[in-house]
């Protein structure tokens, strides 16, 4: 039995005097106005009463019974019993059987709060960025943002920074999305990036694969862009790991909004990987058409 919540802070309590019986002349129940203070969350509030209210038939316009009012905001009524009414000797209605109700309090604040945000453990990338593990900071511009590196990029170690930035591609909140995407791109633009990135491919490819398998469309696009950027730097060295990345591309290729972008990415992978990459791509995506004659 469910009752809607009521916004009032005080209620009328209706009760019958113990001496009143069906044959007595006093048939009208006594009503006392009882202000109720909100109980502490999680505390017991048995014994608190609501109020009897008349129920009017929509068809005849006559009163056909009484119903219980609602308890304090945030609480509800529960219980069972019979609420039938019958006519007495004087023709007035009175209670024949009691309806036993007791209020149910809202849970304590420690277990539930309708306004408290759920506590979430920060991701590994967010924690690393907060501790200063990534030697760059986001500079907000009037038109676009940029990264300010605390040291020259030529002196920044790729291990483990490049892998950390690749892990940040799966972030969905600002500024982590921009820092990871732009940081990965700028790090690969270093003059000797190929020599530093090739030894990291066995650890870097699984991280990019996770970004390509992400359900978020923006995360997938960032992972696809990072894959093309990496292929442009390491060249044919990526061919040995390419088959692990093409499975997720073939799935997204069925989506019309990604079909063109994935096709362009595959052509660039073939361009940077050479003719040896064509066989690998066709083994996973048979419908792919090579750019080579």
DSSP code of residue 99: E
Phi and psi, residue 144, nearest 5°? -145, 165
Q: How far apart are CA 1 and CA 5, in angstroms?
A: 13
Rank 7-11, 96-100, 168-172 by mean pLDDT and report only the highest.
Answer: 168-172
The chain-wide mean pLDDT, for the chain, equals 73
- Half-sphere exposure of 132 toward its Cβ, with a 13 Å CA cutoff? 2
Alpha-carbon gap, residue 217 to 255, rounded angstroms:
11
pLDDT: which is higher, 234 or 291? 234
User: Rounded CA gap, 148 and 136, in Å?
Assistant: 5
**Please, what sign has the CA dihedral across residues 10, 11, 12, 13?**
negative
Look at residues 178, 248, 237, 236 and name the one whose alpha carbon lies nearest to residue 207.
248
What is the 8-class DSSP label of residue 102?
Answer: E
Q: Is 87 helix (H, G, I), strand (E, B) or coil?
A: strand
pLDDT tens per residue across span 158-185: 999 999 999 999 999 989 999 999 999 9
Cα–Cα distance between 244 and 5 in angstroms, integer?
Answer: 56
Share of the chain above pLDDT 90, in %: 43
pLDDT single digits (tens) 13-43: 444 444 444 444 444 444 444 444 444 554 4
Give every CB contact of residue 157 below 8 A, 6+ residues apart in sequence.
Answer: none
Q: What residues pair up with 93 in beta bridges, in sequence order?
A: 87
The pLDDT of residue 277 is 92
Instruction: Please state, in angstroms and as integers, the Cα–Cα distance from residue 176 to each residue in 71, 123, 170, 184, following that order.
Output: 47, 10, 9, 12
Of the candidates 21, 193, 171, 1, the residue with the CA atom closest to the CA atom of residue 94 = 21
Which residues 6+ apart lie within 8 Å of 166 measured at CB? 180, 184, 204, 207, 208, 211, 226
Q: What's the pLDDT band for 63 if we cut at 50, 70, 90?
A: low
Per-residue pLDDT, 149: 93
More confident residue, 110 or 54: 54
pLDDT of residue 30: 43
Give the pLDDT of residue 122. 76
Q: Given this model, what pLDDT does residue 15 score?
A: 41
Burial degree of 268 (CB within 10 A; 0-12, 13-18, 19+): middle
pLDDT value of position 94 = 45
Model confidence pLDDT, tens digit, residues 230-270: 999 999 999 999 999 999 999 999 889 999 999 999 999 99
Give the model's confidence band at 54: pLDDT under 50 very low, under 70 low, under 90 confident, else very high.
low
| The pLDDT value given to residue 55 | 53
* pLDDT score at 132: 87
- Residue 120: predicted pLDDT: 66
Q: What is the pLDDT of residue 124?
A: 85
**Cβ-proximal residues to 61 (8 Å cutoff; 6+ apart), any chain:** none
In this prediction, residue 291 carries a pLDDT of 79
Torsion over CA: 201, 204, 206, 208 (sign): negative
């Amino acid at each position: 039995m469910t009752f809607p919540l009521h916004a009032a802070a005080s209620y009328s309590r209706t009760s019958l005097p113990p001496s009143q019986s069906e044959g007595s002349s006093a048939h009208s129940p006594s009503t006392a106005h009882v202000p109720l203070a909100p109980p502490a969350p999680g505390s017991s509030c048995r014994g608190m009463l609501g109020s009897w209210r008349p129920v009017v038939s929509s068809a005849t316009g006559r009163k056909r019974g009484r119903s219980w009012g609602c308890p304090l905001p945030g609480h509800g009524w529960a219980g069972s019993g019979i609420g039938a009414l019958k006519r007495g000797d004087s023709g007035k209605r009175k209670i024949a059987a009691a309806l036993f109700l007791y209020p149910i309090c809202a849970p304590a604040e420690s277990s539930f709060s309708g306004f408290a945000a759920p506590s979430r453990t920060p991701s590994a990338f967010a924690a690393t960025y907060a501790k200063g593990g990534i030697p760059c900071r986001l500079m907000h511009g009037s038109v676009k943002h940029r990264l300010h590196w605390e040291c020259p990029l030529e002196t920044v170690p790729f291990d483990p920074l490049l892998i950390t930035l690749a892990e940040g591609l799966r972030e969905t909140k600002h500024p982590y999305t921009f820092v990871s995407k732009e940081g990965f791109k700028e790090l690969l633009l270093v003059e000797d990036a190929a020599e530093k990135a090739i030894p990291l491919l066995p650890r870097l490819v699984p991280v990019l694969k996770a970004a390509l398998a992400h359900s978020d469309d923006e995360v997938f696009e960032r992972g696809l862009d990072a894959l093309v950027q990496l292929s442009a730097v390491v060249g044919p060295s990526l061919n040995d790991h390419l088959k692990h990345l093409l499975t997720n591309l073939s799935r997204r290729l069925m989506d019309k909004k990604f079909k063109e972008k994935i096709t362009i990415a595959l052509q660039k992978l073939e361009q940077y990987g050479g003719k040896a990459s064509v066989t690998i791509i066709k083994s996973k995506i048979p419908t792919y058409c090579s750019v080579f004659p």
